[in-house]
């Protein structure tokens, strides 16, 4: 039998679109760029169309994707009682670590300022959403009409309503099973739509990069390289500091010894850009870390869906990056609201490739910021998604160990035992 030829992977196509856009844009830039009448009248409108089509397709699917994914994620718990004890600890650790993650991303983006010094365009500060009072922030979490919230894309209200819906369906028990099936099917349909849209990304990246390099030349790559550096540095700090804090104070274990045993799933996630590949390995080595099955079997699958610390870091960095590219200064209050929204979105977003790229559109839109910054990053998203996914997968097993430590069920004899040699042979086999 003849072997089937393997086609190019999506990130290969995106890289091709990126580099072709760069080459075409540089050529047009040397020909005069936007000052050339022919390029300005005939070429740029078509290239801008490709980018605008890509962005509009993403915006089309974001609201239903988030809404149905969150409902499906909540109903997957199956029993409200699971939210007690182990469940409550897991959710609190996931939310807390996500909030710290986005805060680290925001802090570094404020210090390094990856988008500063390069003006991509002009946006009036008045177009940004005003930060309401503290009481109003809480009230704004709840929609007076959920259908209006869905139509207007008010993500915080959509997330709240989706969570209430999911909990209500759990409480209905077997009566809700037919509706749960429908919701799960719709969620899967949204994923299929996303799959179709992802095929357009290489063309959108080509158009947007060609436009950017036509107008600005090679100078556009300074901000992109600074963005990658900021994103990686934030993820490394979060892993080294936040996760170590959780291991020391909640699991009461040595972080260095922990990572020697947990490095395998981290590396698998980094190289594959999917927590699904790392999850079986994480569950296999969990007993070697002293994590009992009743904890690992619940926390790790849930974490693979809901614990998105690396993606949360990206959300914080991309919003400030976009604001800096357009010379907009976000207030502390606006960044605080961003941290809250990014935390909830990172927990609610589906665990699938490119999801951070898609959901970041929601954050930019909700704050009234231009979407072009996300398009610039799309070409190199595979590179930064590697550290996002590794941070996510590492966080899953850290949370599992922390929950076991808080529950008093972590087996320190197994953790301290030299039991990884045989295990790693099994993993690599």
Banded model confidence at residue 426, pLDDT cuts 50, 70, 90: very low
What's the pTM?
Answer: 0.70
Whether the predicted pLDDT of 324 surpasses 80: yes
Summarised one tens digit per residue, pLDDT across range 17-57 is 878 888 888 888 888 877 888 888 888 888 888 877 877 78
Whether the predicted pLDDT of 429 surpasses 50: no
Whether 423 and 288 have beta carbons less than 8 Å apart is answered as: yes
In three state form, how does the secondary structure of 247-273 look?
Answer: HHHHHCCCHHHHHHHHHHHHHHHHHHC
Query: Which tops the pLDDT comparison, 134 or 335?
Result: 335
Whether 261 and 289 have beta carbons less than 8 Å apart is answered as: yes
Distance of alpha carbon 282 from alpha carbon 48, whole angstroms: 44
Name the CATH architecture for the domain at 10-428: Orthogonal Bundle (1.10)
Residue 287's contacts (CB-CB under 8 Å, 6 or more residues apart) are 293, 296, 414
Average pLDDT on 262-280 reads 76
Summarised one tens digit per residue, pLDDT across range 173-219 is 889 889 989 988 988 888 788 778 777 878 887 887 788 788 777 76
* Residue-range domain boundaries for the chain: 10-428
Average pLDDT on 319-339 reads 82
Banded model confidence at residue 80, pLDDT cuts 50, 70, 90: low
Average pLDDT on 293-317 reads 82
Q: What angle do CA 94, 97, 100 make, to 5 degrees?
A: 150
* Burial status of residue 30 (CB atoms within 10 A of its CB: 0-12, 13-18, 19 or more): exposed
Banded model confidence at residue 11, pLDDT cuts 50, 70, 90: low
Predicted local confidence at residue 121, as pLDDT: 57
């Amino acid at each position: 039998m003849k072997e089937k030829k393997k086609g190019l992977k999506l990130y290969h196509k995106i890289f091709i679109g990126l580099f072709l856009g760069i080459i075409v844009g540089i050529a047009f830039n040397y020909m005069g760029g936007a000052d050339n009448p022919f390029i300005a009248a005939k070429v740029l409108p078509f290239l801008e169309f490709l980018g605008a089509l890509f962005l509009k397709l993403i915006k089309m699917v974001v609201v239903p994707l988030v809404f149905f994914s969150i409902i499906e994620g909540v109903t997957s718990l199956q029993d409200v009682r699971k939210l007690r004890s182990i469940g409550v600890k897991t959710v609190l650790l996931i939310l807390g670590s996500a909030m710290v993650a986005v805060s680290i991303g925001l802090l570094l983006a404020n210090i390094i300022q990856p988008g500063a010094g390069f003006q991509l365009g002009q946006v009036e500060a008045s177009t940004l959403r005003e930060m309401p009072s503290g009481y109003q922030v809480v009230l704004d979490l709840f929609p007076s009409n959920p259908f209006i919230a869905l139509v207007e894309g008010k993500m915080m209200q959509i997330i709240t309503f989706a969570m209430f819906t999911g909990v209500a369906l759990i409480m209905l028990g077997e009566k809700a099973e037919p509706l749960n099936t429908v919701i799960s099917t719709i969620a899967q349909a949204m994923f299929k739509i996303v799959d179709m849209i992802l095929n357009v990304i290489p063309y959108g990246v080509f158009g947007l990069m060609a436009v950017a390099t036509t107008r600005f030349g090679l100078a556009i790559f300074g901000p992109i390289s600074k963005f990658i550096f900021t994103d990686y540095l934030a993820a490394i700090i979060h892993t080294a500091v936040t996760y170590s804090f959780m291991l020391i104070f909640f699991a009461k274990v040595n972080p260095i010894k922990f990572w020697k045993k947990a490095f395998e799933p981290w590396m698998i996630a980094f190289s594959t850009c999917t927590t699904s590949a790392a999850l079986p390995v994480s569950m296999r080595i969990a007993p070697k870390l002293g994590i009992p099955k009743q904890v690992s079997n619940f926390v790790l699958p849930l974490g693979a869906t809901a614990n998105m610390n690396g993606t949360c870091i990206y959300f914080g960095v991309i919003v400030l990056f976009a604001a800096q590219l357009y010379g907009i200064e976000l207030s502390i209050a606006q960044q605080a609201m961003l941290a809250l929204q990014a935390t909830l979105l990172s927990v609610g977003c589906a665990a699938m490739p490119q999801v951070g790229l898609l959901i970041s559109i929601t954050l930019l839109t909700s704050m009234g910021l231009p979407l072009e910054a996300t398009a610039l990053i799309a070409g190199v998203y595979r590179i930064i998604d590697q550290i996002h996914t590794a941070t996510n997968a590492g966080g899953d097993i850290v949370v599992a160990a922390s929950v076991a430590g808080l529950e008093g069920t972590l087996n320190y004899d197994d953790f301290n035992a030299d039991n990884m040699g045989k295990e790693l042979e099994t993993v690599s086999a």
